[in-house]
Amino acid sequence: MDALRLDSAALGYRGHVVLEDVDLALAPGQVLALVGPNGAGKSTLIKSVVGLAEVAAGSVLAPGPIGYVPQSGLVDQDFPVSALQVVLMGRYRRIGWWRPTGRADRQVALDALALVGLAARARDRFGLLSGGQRQRVLVARALVAAPRLLLLDEPFNGVDALSRDAILRVLKAAAADGTAIVISTHNLDLARSHADLVSLLNGRQHAAGPPSSTLTPELLRQAYGGLVTL
């Protein structure tokens, strides 16, 4: 069964379609890179999977559980929570309404922080971490939900090389464990080297398939409107 499947999907907000003609199927363990210029609909596609954008036509299917990593700049950085508490949020749905947060939940969260190399910062306030470290915490939060599908919205924006490598290492391990991964990115080299599939977007899906057949000069020129140089 596919971890994510879009059939002739048209996506948008409040009746306004941002992205259309999307056909995609992602198997467990596969990595999909969403590539396209700003405003192409990359975030919209990701948001439609978690129910934050509308599916105007066609269908979007993801059996879940889904892990979602928002752009780290979009979360409240002044908020009084520690890195560990942020990671624990990923467990809240499993914990449910009635049961208090237990030692086992805490251990899972600590392990996830260790995985992204931040075990020592567990008690530090989230807002005091660097941009890259915050992004790693949000990745850890997504991982503790044991997702079948992991969605990352521009995870490498404003992220230092150290954090980027840490995130890539964790993602590779998750994919090896059978988690399907969707990453939106501007970085074509990264898409080429790490993705099994690339979806080339700009208002509609221009191409989808392995990097070798999608990241071609011709298709990129189409999607970027001639603004890209290779």
User: Which residues contact another protein (rule: CB under 8 A)?
Assistant: 47, 50-52, 66, 68, 70, 74-82, 85-86, 89-90, 92-93, 95, 97-98, 101, 125, 127-128, 138, 141, 145, 151
Cα 94 versus chain centre, distance: 20
What Å distances lie between residue 224 and 49, 55, 199, CA to CA?
Answer: 24, 24, 13
d(CA 198, CA 210): 6
In the bound state with another protein, the residue whose beta carbon lies nearer, of 93 and 172, is: 93
- The candidate with the shortest Cα–Cα distance to 137, out of 148, 66, 100, 120, is 120
Nearest approach in angstroms of CB 144 to another protein is 11
Nearest approach in angstroms of CB 92 to another protein is 5
Nearest approach in angstroms of CB 93 to another protein is 5
Residue type, 105: D
The helix (H) or strand (E) run that includes residue 171 is helix 161-176
Q: Which residues contact 19 (CB under 8 A, 6 or more apart)?
A: 9, 10, 11, 12, 40, 41, 44, 45, 201, 203, 204, 205
Nearest approach in angstroms of CB 226 to another protein is 33
In the bound state with another protein, the residue whose beta carbon lies nearer, of 89 and 168, is: 89
In the bound state with another protein, the residue whose beta carbon lies nearer, of 19 and 138, is: 138
In the bound state with another protein, the residue whose beta carbon lies nearer, of 46 and 195, is: 46
Nearest approach in angstroms of CB 126 to another protein is 8
Nearest approach in angstroms of CB 9 to another protein is 18
In the bound state with another protein, the residue whose beta carbon lies nearer, of 71 and 222, is: 71
What Å distances lie between residue 90 and 31, 42, 93, CA to CA?
Answer: 21, 23, 7
Q: In what order do the strands lie in the sheet with 4-13?
A: 16-26, 4-13, 54-61
In the bound state with another protein, the residue whose beta carbon lies nearer, of 92 and 210, is: 92
d(CA 10, CA 88): 34
